[in-house]
Amino acid sequence: MLSSSVQKTNQIIMTEAIKKSLRDSKGARWGALAVVSFTMMTGYYINYVISPLKPELEKYFDWSSSDFGIWNSAYGWFNVFFLMLIFAGIILDKMGVRFTGIGASLIMIIGTLLQYIAVAQIIPTDGMILGMKTQIAIGALGFGIFGVGVEAAGITVSKIIVKWFKGKELALAMGLEMATARMGTAMALAIPLPMAKALGVDGIPNVSAPVALGLGLLVAGFVAFIWYTFMDRKLEKSEGVKDEHSEEDEFKIRDILFIIKNKGFWLIAFLCVLFYSGVFPFLYYATDLMIHKYGVNPDFAGSIPGLLPFGTIILTPFFGNLYDRKGKGATIMLIGSVMLLIAHSIFSIPSIDNYIVAIGLIIFLGVTFSLVPSAMWPSVPKIIPEKQLGTAYALIFWVQNWGLMGVPLLIGIVLDKHCQVMDANGEFSHYDYTIPMMIFAATGLLAIIVAVMLKAEDKKKGYGLELPNIEK
């Protein structure tokens, strides 16, 4: 009788052990996070690798601010006009994270290879294509293709994190992933200009070298993601999942209607495009701003905006952990939007031109950049069911790409047409960044309005944005 009881107890223990998911292992889930975060870090490096090279490209390669704006605007071309992000979201929900992640990594490599071909002038770049300089056209095509890959990778990694951390340290995990990825941004702002000058010939910087470094990093990120796919299979095996996607959970086209009818979804999407339009395009021009307004030596100018991601490395996980344990997600997003307006408003004041102030504002903006994303992305699963998350993230990123496409181009055109300051001889002296910074400040003001509306909608619908993420 006693033996039978012991056997039943052992069977129960064995059954529970079998049912235990790999995600319950801290080492496994944090290890998976580290791998996919590295892949995203390599993508974020390429995202900004051209940014600190703007003065050299204008000086030695006859670029204008409009050319620079076109190149960076290309990031959103295919995602916006050809709906590639939407298709990526549907593919993600239909085919799963492994297939989509590997495809996204390969697309990033292809796009970056084209950018390298353009800046290295491997093929003749004389003449014009579709009204653009050939070099700009080829590089912009590459950056557009890269944009498809890195955005697809972004939504894939977001779904991976939900897969491993739902009901656990979700916001902290997303914060750590973003912090790791932004190490790539910091590298891209600080390394390219000194590297290009150090490897230059006859005083002409080697602008292709930083891009080549990024290409190598992306290959390493691709290998890392392949490694992750084995971890993902182990996770599903531990949960008794035979296939990464099932008919029950598979995305259906009609589910888009559910997403786009959700007011909370649109408020998150609009907050996303406004907030990120005030940060990412700013980083494209931040090195140039330091040189032309604050008089920083070009050799070190990229190091100042490079400080911004370091603040997020520490604070994004902190605010994410705070959201996990204490809640207040909608409030965190509102505070971050207010801080964005304050930072850019001070940047726009012509008389405040001391570089020490610029350093302080960049650090302040880093805190801002920690607040909103740490609460925004973990809030989406509270509004949208998990089986539709891939498409929901894709739709949000699609809206965001309108800003990432339009704002860099707008700033480049404004700089060329309204912000060139001439010296006494009628020669170009410097750019006046007052109007561009006012444009960035406007994104903060609009973000505040949307954040207030989101907070009210959460109170009305009970999404739980103000509640902790960790289930007790």
Q: Which domain covers residue 124, as residue numbers? A: 28-461
Please, are residues 429 and 423 in contact by the beta-carbon 8 Å criterion? Answer: yes
Cα separation, 105 vs 156, whole angstroms: 11
Per-residue pLDDT, 6: 46
Half-sphere exposure at residue 4, Cβ-oriented, CA atoms within 13 angstroms: 1
DSSP string, 27-59: HHHHHHHHHHHHHHHHHHHHHHTTGGGHHHHHH
pLDDT by residue for the chain (472 residues), tens only, comes to 445 554 554 444 444 444 578 988 999 999 999 999 999 999 999 999 999 999 999 999 899 999 999 999 999 999 999 999 888 888 888 889 999 999 999 999 999 999 999 999 898 777 899 889 999 999 999 999 999 999 999 999 999 998 999 888 888 898 889 889 989 999 999 999 999 999 999 889 999 999 999 999 999 999 999 999 999 999 988 887 765 554 445 556 677 888 899 999 999 999 999 999 999 999 999 999 999 999 999 888 999 998 988 777 778 788 888 888 898 999 999 999 999 999 999 999 999 999 999 999 999 999 998 889 889 988 998 998 877 877 888 899 899 999 999 999 999 999 999 999 999 999 899 999 999 999 999 999 999 999 999 999 999 999 999 998 876 6
Cα separation, 278 vs 275, whole angstroms: 5
Per-residue pLDDT, 9: 45
Per-residue pLDDT, 130: 85
Cα separation, 83 vs 62, whole angstroms: 33
Per-residue pLDDT, 343: 97
Position 376 in a domain? yes
DSSP string, 103-135: HHHHHHHHHHHHHHHHHTT-S---SEETTEEHH
Cα separation, 89 vs 174, whole angstroms: 18
CATH number of the CATH domain containing 278? 1.20.1250.20
Please, are residues 32 and 156 in contact by the beta-carbon 8 Å criterion? Answer: no
Cα separation, 98 vs 78, whole angstroms: 22
Q: Which residues pair with 428 in a beta bridge?
A: 422
Position 230 in a domain? yes
Residue type, 202: D
Please, are residues 83 and 398 in contact by the beta-carbon 8 Å criterion? Answer: yes
Per-residue pLDDT, 244: 57
User: How far lies 347's CA from each of 166, 190, 432, in Å?
Assistant: 39, 20, 11
Position 3 in a domain? no
Please, are residues 66 and 416 in contact by the beta-carbon 8 Å criterion? Answer: yes
Position 22 in a domain? no
Position 18 in a domain? no
Element (H, E) at 183: helix 170-190
Cα separation, 445 vs 91, whole angstroms: 35
Position 262 in a domain? yes
User: How far lies 465's CA from each of 151, 324, 388, in Å?
Assistant: 25, 11, 18
Please, are residues 454 and 333 in contact by the beta-carbon 8 Å criterion? Answer: yes
How many domains, in total, are found in the chain? 1
Per-residue pLDDT, 85: 86
Please report, in angstroms and rounded to a whole number, the separation of the first and last CA atoms in the chain: 38
Per-residue pLDDT, 15: 44
In 312-469, where do the E strands start and end?
A: 420-422, 428-431
Residue type, 430: H
Position 10 in a domain? no
Whose CA is closest to 89, among 282, 321, 208, 259? 259
Q: Which residues pair with 261 in a beta bridge?
A: none
Whose CA is closest to 388, among 177, 275, 272, 245? 245
Whose CA is closest to 450, among 275, 193, 213, 243? 275
Position 469 in a domain? no
Please, are residues 149 and 105 in contact by the beta-carbon 8 Å criterion? Answer: yes
